[in-house]
Structure 1
Amino acid sequence: MPTPDRKSSLKIIVAAVLILGTVAYLAITGVSENKSYYVTISELQGMGNKAYTRHLRVAGNVAPGSIERSGTNATFTLLEQGHTLRVTYKGSEPPPDTFKDDSQALAVGTYGRDGVFHATQLQAKCASKYAPAANQAPTTTASALPASR
C-alpha cells in the first residue's frame, strides 16, 4: 500500500505529464495550422489535388482595374508571367493602403475547388513608391558612399 507521500508525489507526476502532453499537442497542432507554402501562380495551378489541402502563400501583381472592395473584403486578380489567379480576401482588417492597381501583393490562404484563392491575409507593396521617376536616375547620398582614403 502506497504511503501518503508517495501518493501525493505520484499525483504531481501524473499532473505534470498531462500538462506537458497538452502543451506539446497544442504547440504541434498550432504550428501545422499556421504553416504555409509559398508557391507561384503557375505552380499552384499545376499542383492538382494538393493545392486544395494546403495553407498557401501566392504572390503576383494586382491586375489593373480588377479590385472590387466591400468593407474590409476585396476581390481582385493577381498576374504572374502570363498566369492569372482570382483572389477573394476576407480578413479582419481592410487591405493595406499600398494595395492598388499594379502593386505587388502576397495573399495567404487556401485554394478552392472553384478556382478562386480564398485569402485571409494580404500584404502589398506599391512598386512605384520606391522606384525613381521614369526620367530620373537613382540618386545616392554622400553618406551612403564609402569614404575614400
Structure 2
Amino acid sequence: MANALHKSPIKFIVATLIIVATIAYLSFTGGRDNKSYYVTIGELQGMGNKAYVRHLRVAGNVAPGSIHRVGTSATFDLLEQGRKLSVVYQGSEPPPDTFKDDAQALAVGTYGHDGVFHATQLQAKCASKYAPAPASATPATTAAATPPTTR
C-alpha cells in the first residue's frame, strides 16, 4: 500500500504538466491565428508577398459613389492620402448604417493577389456626425426678430 501512495503524486504531477502544456499551446496558436496587423493603404501596397499571408486591418475614407451593396455584401473603395484600395466585404451581417460616402471605415480581412482587399469585418464612423454644424444652421438671434421700440 505504501507503494501506491508514492506513485499517486507522480501521476498527478505528470497529468498537471500535460494539461498546462496543452493550454499554453492552444493559447499561443489561437492568439497567433487571430492576430491582425493594422496597416495603412500605402504600407499594404508596399508589403510585397507578406501582404498575402497575413490577417490585416486597413482604414480609410469611403470613396464617394463607390459603394455597391448586394445583401450582406458590399464592394467599395477606401481612400487614404491619395491612395486607393478596392475592398470586397462578405460578412454575415450587412454593413453598418454609418457606412456611407466619405465615412471613415475599418476593414478587417486579407489582401488578395488580385489587388483587392477581401474583408470579413467592417466598421464605419460617419464623419459628418462629428463635424461642426454649418454656419447657416445656427439659430437666428432674437434681437433681429424683435421689432424696434418707439419712444
TM bucket (normalised to shorter chain) is 0.7 to 0.9
Partner of 1:142: none
Alpha-carbon distance in structure 2 between the residues aligned to 1:20 and 1:43: 39
TM-score (norm 1): 0.85
Partner of 2:141: none
Partner of 2:91: 91
Partner of 1:74: 74
Larger radius of gyration: 2
1:95 is paired with a residue of what secondary structure? coil
Note the C-alpha offset of 1:7: 2.1
Partner of 1:60: 60
Alpha-carbon distance in structure 1 between the residues aligned to 2:91 and 2:9: 48
Deviations 1:97-142 (A, max 9, x none): 101111000111111111111111111000001112232699xxxx
Alpha-carbon distance in structure 1 between the residues aligned to 2:88 and 2:74: 6
Over the aligned positions, Cα root-mean-square deviation in angstroms equals: 1.8
Note the C-alpha offset of 1:64: 1.2
Alpha-carbon distance in structure 1 between the residues aligned to 2:54 and 2:137: 44
Note the C-alpha offset of 1:82: 1.4
- Residue 127, structure 1, aligned to residue 127, structure 2: yes
Gaps in structure 1 of 5+ consecutive residues: 139-149
Alpha-carbon distance in structure 2 between the residues aligned to 1:3 and 1:88: 66
Note the C-alpha offset of 1:92: 2.1
Gaps in structure 2 of 5+ consecutive residues: 139-151
Alpha-carbon distance in structure 2 between the residues aligned to 1:15 and 1:67: 56
Alpha-carbon distance in structure 1 between the residues aligned to 2:19 and 2:133: 59
Post-superposition, which runs of at least 4 consecutive aligned residues in structure 1 deviate over 4 A? none
